A and B are shown apart, each in its own frame.
Chain A
């Protein structure tokens, strides 16, 4: 089973993807001023990183 987690911090936003508790990919990006958009973007970027497939927007 795959799980994704997002840590929306004030300065950086992190997204991780685990497969059976094993880390398969992560990304750390500046939160900036984009509000919740950055969380979506972090998740999208980390999915690109692990699969090369973009999520539907």
Chain B
């Protein structure tokens, strides 16, 4: 997460210090455990308001937690919303550390997950700008220079 000044220069940044927690890989693993297409996560989580509580931050432990929730009959939509909330919680904590303020842009593959985007926006109380192809925005900007 990078904080820029008005001239587009880097002022400060924070990086995820909790292994794969909160990264796209986390969601990839969970989608596989739930036998759901990664691209469907956003839509599915939008079909419920009830989030399952996911207490483990570790990708491996959270995967077991997800499998247990499935076995207990918890609807997968609620599990997915819980996963999105857990990612959003970590991301917004990082954002607070940088004194986040508009305008905020989200890049990377996770920005294609509308569920995660909604959860982060709700926590930060702002709307984020999502580029049309968030996975390639970095290299696209550099190539244009």
Chain A interface (Cβ < 8 Å from any Cβ of B): 3-7, 11-12, 14-16, 18, 21, 23, 26, 28
Partner of A7 from B25, B133, B139, B144 at Cβ < 8 Å? B139
For chain B, the count of residues having a C-beta within 8 Å of the partner chain is 11
Query: Bound state CA distance, A15 and B135, in angstroms?
Result: 11
Say yes or no: B140 contacts A23, CB within 8 Å.
yes
**Is the beta-carbon distance between A3 and B139 smaller than 8 angstroms?**
no
Interface class of chain B by DSSP: helix
Q: Across the interface, do B25 and A5 meet the contact criterion of CB distance under 8 Å?
A: no
How distant is the Cα of A11 from the Cα of B143 in the complex, in angstroms?
Answer: 20
Bound together, the chains give a CA A16 to CA B136 distance in angstroms of 8
A14 touches B144 (CB 8 A): no
Residues of B close to A5: CB separation below 8 A: 139-140, 142-143
Contact assessment for B136 and A18 in the assembled complex, using a CB-CB cutoff below 8 Å: no
Is B136 within 8 A of A11, CB to CB? Answer: no
B139 CB contacts on chain A under 8 angstroms: 5-7, 14-16
Q: Apart from A3-B143, A26-B133, list 19 A-B contacts with CB within 8 A.
A: A5-B139, A5-B140, A5-B142, A7-B138, A7-B139, A11-B25, A12-B109, A14-B135, A14-B136, A14-B139, A15-B139, A16-B136, A16-B143, A18-B140, A18-B143, A18-B144, A23-B140, A26-B136, A28-B135
